[in-house]
């Protein structure tokens, strides 16, 4: 299937790290490991830089010094840089891709960043503040992020396709808590902790030693939409204190939710708040709160507290060091938190478009007379909307579809022929947010529906529509938002035993996947 999104989007990769779904181009750097026979043929070294032992080394002789090479970058393209700092005793290193400049990296470790090229045909690694140390493994590659499907490993194990609605992160500088949009209230924020994206860009939010309340205060929003849900979230990790997420101002009133970051549990939550916590590994949790707006002015804060029963503005004696680690703040309009949308300073917010999946022109692969539509999927939320997966003819008149309904955990199997519903069966899932294996076997006057190894419905009347040539995660403008492990289309109907095996749980009597079943039955996979 083809994916259309036209914006970048993040996911959790196979290593459990939050990063962009992206396709990388070829290596732009020559001799990035400094191990070639004559590295000075590739690199130009300024005063203080030497190359030896497979590293480039700076001696701190001057406050600033450059090592560089010429590269023909393309205007407007996004590039990803990676390099390693070792043996650091002072200072740091800044990266230039042309005239675009990175932050200063000032600790040992491997660093990654992204820049859009504007001008200047060179790559520079610049020693700053009398840097003393070494660099190695320098890499720069062009990045494609738009319209890249997201293979997501959240929760570990088998990955899934992630499909989400359009959302905008309204928090400016969503991961740079040193910016003025964030105000420390008897706290401090210092960068340099290992974050959920695997780099040293998380902040330590720590308390001072005052007898008071301690929190990081966000900017006031004056143009929120009255009468809609907002969700704000953050990645947080224990460093001696609990997290309290706070709303204030007329849109929400003073409300709180407490999160135990040691045990991964939610404490006291104010009436009107809906709170969630999800583990992201290495002690990190994504904590979120959803609340309905009753006005247009709101403010959001991240507080430090001592107990899951802490009240708003808890006063306690700080020890000067305890706190939490934080990364990736997000404010979005919607009833649940979606994947992280980094905002590096866009005042009007950064938008991730919705994921749209479709493939047309495949009539030769779809048998309009009979077949099976099989999915293994989970909903993102019981959000009161229809969420569709369909085989269709490019119109809403002729379709085979399976869909979530606006009712919590409810699911439907539908056949439309010439605009008329000839099959319409409704069932209730145990939990739509869990992965469910669902098979819809269709043949004129012989329709069978299976969920998780159980036949849930049949229908023995109704003619099949003709001309099916499109597979879509959508029908009638209702897009599928959720997690998709498997999506298979069979060009023949299956027996009851085969449907049982296809949708059942793991074991000798069940097939784990379409591929396993196809192999066992000597089917041809197209």
The three-state secondary structure class of 514 is: helix
pLDDT reported for residue 526:
67
Say whether pLDDT at 40 is over 60: yes
Say whether pLDDT at 505 is over 90: no
CA 133/CA 58 separation, integer angstroms: 6
Is 364 buried (19+), middle (13-18) or exposed (0-12) by CB count in 10 A?
A: exposed
Please give the structure tokens belonging to residue 188.
Answer: 């401090």
CA 146/CA 150 separation, integer angstroms: 11
pLDDT reported for residue 382:
94
Report whether 416 contacts 398 (CB < 8 A). yes
pLDDT reported for residue 516:
77
Say whether pLDDT at 517 is over 70: yes
pLDDT reported for residue 506:
55
pLDDT reported for residue 377:
97
CA 506/CA 511 separation, integer angstroms: 7
Domain ranges of the chain: 23-144, 167-352, 360-520
Q: What count of residues does the chain have?
A: 526
Say whether pLDDT at 515 is over 80: no
> 23, 28, 27, 25: which is closest to 146 by C-alpha?
23
- Level-2 CATH architecture, domain 167-352: Sandwich (2.60)
Least confident of 14-18, 61-65, 196-200: 196-200
Say whether pLDDT at 524 is over 90: no
CATH number 3.20.140.10 given to 23-144: no
Say whether pLDDT at 102 is over 80: yes
CA distances 504 to 156, 236, 499, Å, are: 21, 37, 8
Say whether pLDDT at 508 is over 70: no
pLDDT reported for residue 399:
98
What are 114-139's pLDDT values in tens digits?
899 999 999 999 999 999 999 999 99
Say whether pLDDT at 371 is over 90: yes
CA 149/CA 50 separation, integer angstroms: 43
User: Average pLDDT, stretch 343-351?
Assistant: 93
The number of CA neighbours under 13 Å toward the Cβ of 282 is 14
pLDDT reported for residue 509:
59
How big is the chain by its Cα radius of gyration, in Å? 27
Among all chains, which residue has been given the structure tokens 């897009």?
479
Say whether pLDDT at 448 is over 90: yes
Could you please report the per-residue DSSP string of 427-458?
EE-S-TTS-EEEEEEEETT-EEEEETTEEEEE
CA distances 462 to 77, 424, 440, 442, 475, Å, are: 53, 10, 15, 10, 20
Say whether pLDDT at 523 is over 90: no
CA angle 400, 401, 406 (to 5 degrees): 155
Report whether 486 contacts 375 (CB < 8 A). yes
Residue 519 confidence class, pLDDT cut points 50, 70, 90: confident
Say whether pLDDT at 511 is over 70: no
Average pLDDT, the chain: 95
Contacts of 157 (CB under 8 A, 6+ apart): none
pTM exceeding 0.75: yes
Report whether 279 contacts 18 (CB < 8 A). no
What are 262-303's pLDDT values in tens digits?
999 999 999 999 999 999 999 999 999 999 999 999 999 999
360-520 and 167-352 share a CATH fold: yes
CA 143/CA 21 separation, integer angstroms: 10
pLDDT reported for residue 142:
97
CATH number 2.40.50.140 given to 360-520: no
Please give the structure tokens belonging to residue 426.
Answer: 């409704």
Say whether pLDDT at 242 is over 80: yes
């Amino acid at each position: 299937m083809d994916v259309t999104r036209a914006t970048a989007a993040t996911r959790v990769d196979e290593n459990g790290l939050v990063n962009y779904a992206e396709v990388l181009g070829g290596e732009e750097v020559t001799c990035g490991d400094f191990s070639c026979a004559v590295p000075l043929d590739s690199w130009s070294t300024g005063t203080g830089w030497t190359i030896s032992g497979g590293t480039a080394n700076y001696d701190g002789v001057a406050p600033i010094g450059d090592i560089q090479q010429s590269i023909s970058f393309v205007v407007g393209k996004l590039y990803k840089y990676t390099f390693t700092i070792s043996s650091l005793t002072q200072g740091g290193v800044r990266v230039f891709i042309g005239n675009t400049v990175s932050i200063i990296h000032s600790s040992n470790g491997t660093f990654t960043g992204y820049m859009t090229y504007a001008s200047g045909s060179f790559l520079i690694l610049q020693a700053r503040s009398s840097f003393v140390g070494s660099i190695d493994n320098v890499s720069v590659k062009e990045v494609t992020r738009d319209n890249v499907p997201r293979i997501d490993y959240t929760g570990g194990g088998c990955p899934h396709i992630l499909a989400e609605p359009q959302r905008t992160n309204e928090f400016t500088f969503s991961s740079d808590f040193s910016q003025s949009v964030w105000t420390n209230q008897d706290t401090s924020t210092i960068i340099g902790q290992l974050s959920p994206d695997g780099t040293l860009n998380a902040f330590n939010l720590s308390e001072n030693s005052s007898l008071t309340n301690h929190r990081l205060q966000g900017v006031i929003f004056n143009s929120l939409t009255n009468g809609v849900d907002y969700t704000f979230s953050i990645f947080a990790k224990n460093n001696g204190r609990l997290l309290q997420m706070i709303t204030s101002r007329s849109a929400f009133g003073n409300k709180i939710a407490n999160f135990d970051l040691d045990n991964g549990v939610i404490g006291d939550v104010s009436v009107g708040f809906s709170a969630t916590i999800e583990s992201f590994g290495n002690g990190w949790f994504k904590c979120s709160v959803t609340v309905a707006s009753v006005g247009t002015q709101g403010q959001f804060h991240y507080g430090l507290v001592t107990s899951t029963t802490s009240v708003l503005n808890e006063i306690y004696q700080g020890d000067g060091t305890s706190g939490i680690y934080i990364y990736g703040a997000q404010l979005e309009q919607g009833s649940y938190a979606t994947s992280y949308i980094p905002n590096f300073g866009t005042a009007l917010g950064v938008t991730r478009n919705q994921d749209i999946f479709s493939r047309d022109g495949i009539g030769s692969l779809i048998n309009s007379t009979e077949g099976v539509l099989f999915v293994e999927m989970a909903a993102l939320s019981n959000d009161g909307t229809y969420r569709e997966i369909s085989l269709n003819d490019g119109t809403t008149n002729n379709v085979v579809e399976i869909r979530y309904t606006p009712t919590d955990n409810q699911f439907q199997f539908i056949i439309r022929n010439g605009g008329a519903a000839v099959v319409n069966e409704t069932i209730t899932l145990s939990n739509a947010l869990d992965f469910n294996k669902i098979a819809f076997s269709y043949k004129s006057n012989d329709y069978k529906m299976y969920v998780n190894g159980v036949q849930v419905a049949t229908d023995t009347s109704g003619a099949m529509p003709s001309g099916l040539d499109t597979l879509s995660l959508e029908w009638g403008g209702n897009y599928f938002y959720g997690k998709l492990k498997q999506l298979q289309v069979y060009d023949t109907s299956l027996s009851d035993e085969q449907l049982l095996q296809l949708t059942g749980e793991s074991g000798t009597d069940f097939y784990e996947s379409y591929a396993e079943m196809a192999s066992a039955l000597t089917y041809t996979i197209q």
